[in-house]
Amino acid sequence: MVAERALPLAALLCVLLAACAGLRGPASPELRAAAQQHDALAVSDALEALIAAGRERPGDREYAYKVVTAQEQDTAAYAYARAAVTGRLVQQRGLLGASLIGDVERWGLRSRELDPNFRDGAATRLLGTLYVIAPSSFLKHGDSEQGLEMLEELVVAHPDALENHLRLAEAYIALGDHAPAAPHLCLCLANRDSMRPDDRRLLDDLVRVTGAPDCVAVH
C-alpha cells in the first residue's frame, strides 16, 4: 500500500532539489495584476490573499520574489513586503531556502526601524515568529527568547488582532510550553470564523498538537 502513495522518483527529486521551478507555469492572474502596480506591498498582499484562500499556483512565490526584489525601496512598506515575500519563498523551498532566512531578518528589522507601527507592528510579528521558529544559526540579531518577548509585547500593544494571539500561541507551543498558549488558543477558537483560512488551518494544527484547551477553566 505504501508504494501506491509514493511519489514518482522524478517528482520526488523535483520536490527535494527544487529542480522544477521552470515547469511551474505562469503566476496567478491576481499576482500578475498586482505586479503591474509597481508596488511591492500590493504584490505581497496579493500573494498572501492567494495563500489564505488556498488558490496559489506553484510558481507564485518565486514570481512574487522576483518582482519585489527588482524594485528595491527604502520604506517601511517595501521592507515589510520584501521580508514577507522572502519568508513565503523560504517556506516553499524548505532547507534549500535557508540561505534566505537572513534576508527575511534584515528586511524585517529595516521595516521596524523605519516605522515600528506599520500595520500595527506587522514587522514585529514577522520577526518574533522568525526568531522562535528559525534555526538560530541563520540569524544575526535575535533568538527564540527575544522573539517570544516581541510577540508578548505585541499582544499587549494590539490585543484585538487575533493573528498576534495565534502567533504567540504558536511560539509557546514551538518552545514546548503549552500552558501559556491556552488563553490565546481559546480566544482564537472563539473567533475562528473571522480568521483567515490559512490561520484557521494553523489554529487547528496547534490544537491537534496540544489537545483542545479547557477554555472554561482558562476564563
Query: What are the pLDDT tens digits along the chain (219 aa)?
Result: 333 333 343 333 333 343 344 446 689 999 999 999 999 999 999 999 999 999 999 999 999 999 999 999 999 999 999 999 999 999 999 989 999 999 999 999 999 999 999 999 999 999 999 999 898 888 988 889 999 999 999 999 999 999 999 999 999 999 999 999 999 999 999 999 999 999 999 999 999 999 999 897 665
At residue 179, the pLDDT reads: 95
At residue 49, the pLDDT reads: 96
List of residues 6+ apart from 109 with CB closer than 8 A:
123, 127, 141
Query: Among all chains, which residue has been given the C-alpha cell 524548505?
Result: 94
Q: Where are the domains of the chain?
A: 26-158, 160-219
Rg (CA), the chain: 18
> What CA–CA distance (Å, rounded) separates 164 from 92?
23
Torsion sign, CA atoms 159, 162, 163, 167 = positive
Q: What is the pTM of this model?
A: 0.84
133: buried, middle or exposed (CB in 10 Å: 19+, 13-18, 0-12)?
Answer: middle
